[in-house]
Structures are given as C-alpha cells and as structure tokens.
Amino acid sequence: MKENTIKKIWADGGVVVNGWLTIPSSFSAEVMAHQGFDSLVVDLQHGAVDYQAAVTLLQAICTTSVIPMARVPWNDPAVLMKILDAGAFGVVCPMVNNAEQAEALVRACKYPPRGYRSCGPVRAKYSCGADYLDHADDNTLVIPQIETAQALDNLDRILEVPGIDAVYVGPADLAMALGSHARSGQDDAVVLAAKKKVAETCMRHKRIAGIHTPSAEAAFKAVEEGYRFVTIASDERFLAAKASAEVNSIRNAMRRR
C-alpha cells in the first residue's frame, strides 16, 4: 500500500500542513494539490461537495504525492465506508462528543475483527495499492472533531479509544457551543483556553491535535501551542480573499488617480 506520509511526518515529530477543499471541481482540487500542502481534506460536510464529485477530487489529488482525506457530513457508517472505499487515506468526523461515538466511528472505519467496515475498496485497491486490505486499518486515519463542551469534557476518554489517531478542533463550532460567537473562535478567552486544553491533552495521550485556522499566521500560533495537524482556511477562502484584495487594490488606485 502507498505510504501515508502524514503518519511518517508525525512519527518524525513534524507538523502536517493541511488544505481544505469545498469547491466541487477536480480542476481546482488539482491546482490546490500543487501548492505545497502535505494533505488535502475534501469537505463533504460544509463543502459544496457530495460523493460523486468527491471521487474526482480525490483522483485530482492523487495526480500528486499529497495525501487525500475527507471530512464526512456525520458519524454515519454508510458515508464513512464509502469515502474510504473511494481512496481517502483518513476521515475527519464532525460532532464526536464521547467515547461511545468515537468507538462507533473507529469500528465503521476498520475491517473485522477491529470493526465492521464492509469489504469493497473499489477505488482504493487501485489508488492505494493492490494490498490495500492488508494495510488499510493501519494506514487510514480516524480523526474525530472536538467541537462541543461535552466533547471537551470527554476528551481523555475519546483519546483513549484505540484507533483514534488525532482529534480536530472546529473553532467556530466550539466557540458557538461554548456560548461565544462563531467568528470569535480566534480570540475569545474561553475558546482559547479550550484550544490550549485540547493541545495539551493530546500531547499527554501521545495523540495528534489538529485544528482549522483562518490563516498561516493563526496556524503557526496553533503549531506553537502543540498542534501538529493544521488546516489553513480553504480553497473558497483563498479564492475570495485574493480576488477581493486585487479588486480593492485597483479600485483604490483608480480612486486616487
């Protein structure tokens, strides 16, 4: 099976710089795969992407050595298994709030006897390798999201579930769940404390802390806190930010004329 280089980066003590795909185009996905990310997550939850398009995005990523992963819309075995069959090297799963949900997540992602994933790696046996069945359980990552007060409370137990490789903080959801505004995910004291707690708890459990951030600057701050799986914004955010900056730039220049 093709090596999951994310695991190697982590084993070497490094940080994975991750990108996020919400645009349902295999062309924009391929463009993103050439920008230097270690991995790219196809977002089937909030992204404008459903399974059929997601397959083409995973293929586009596989034209490079970037590791393709997916965020599923929910902790649902049907979707988890289907996107793994499509060649995702790992899944990020929203709203995992306790150990039972984390175990259910793991079991849906692992073949018997570790779980009950159904056998049929229709694309993975090509894109990941003909020996996929022998190595998939060890090489595909299971990453629950921590985005509620309940999940924070249960973090130790979630991290103790065998098969959980990392957790992933969704700051906007976490902020809202903690009574703050979604946009305050970067500065509210309660949220900052929660993010710090996740990093520290993960280090104590020798698990990886991951987080969504709006910028390289914020991502680097997270790295300094101990996060080792950091996402910077998304394709849509990059597109909007650069386009509006350029438009504003010329409009300002013309105004000053």
Contact call for residue 56 and a copy of itself (CB under 8 A) = yes
Shortest reach from residue 159's CB to a copy of itself, in Å = 21
Shortest reach from residue 161's CB to a copy of itself, in Å = 21
Degrees to nearest 5, angle at CA 13 with 11 and 15: 105
For residue 165, what are its two tokens?
Answer: 């490789």
Q: Which of 5, 25, 184, 186 binds a copy of itself (CB under 8 A)?
A: 25
Residue 90, helix vs strand vs coil: strand
Q: Is there a contact between 68 and 88 (Cβ–Cβ < 8 Å)?
A: yes
Distance CA 241, CA 153 (A): 36
Contacts with a copy of itself, 126-165, as mask; x by CB under 8 A: xx-----x-------------xx-----------------
The residues that are catalytic are 46
Distance CA 72, CA 79 (A): 7
In this chain, which stretch among 4-12, 98-106, 168-176, 189-197 interacts with a copy of itself, using CB under 8 A?
A: 168-176
Q: Which of 19, 90, 144, 210 binds a copy of itself (CB under 8 A)?
A: 19
Based on CB atoms, which residue is closest to a copy of itself, 32 or 155?
Answer: 32
Q: Locate tokens 């386009």: which residue? A: 243
Q: Which of 106, 109, 202, 233 binds a copy of itself (CB under 8 A)?
A: 233
Based on CB atoms, which residue is closest to a copy of itself, 39 or 201?
Answer: 39
Phi (first) and psi of residue 167, to 5 degrees: -120, 165
Site for a copy of itself, residues 102 to 121, rule: CB under 8 A:
111-113, 116, 118-121
Element (H, E) at 69: strand 67-71
Shortest reach from residue 139's CB to a copy of itself, in Å = 16
Binding-site size for a copy of itself (CB under 8 A) equals 98
Q: How far is CA 257 from the centre of its chain?
A: 46
Q: Locate tokens 């295999």: which residue? A: 26
Q: Is there a contact between 109 and 163 (Cβ–Cβ < 8 Å)?
A: yes
Shortest reach from residue 51's CB to a copy of itself, in Å = 4
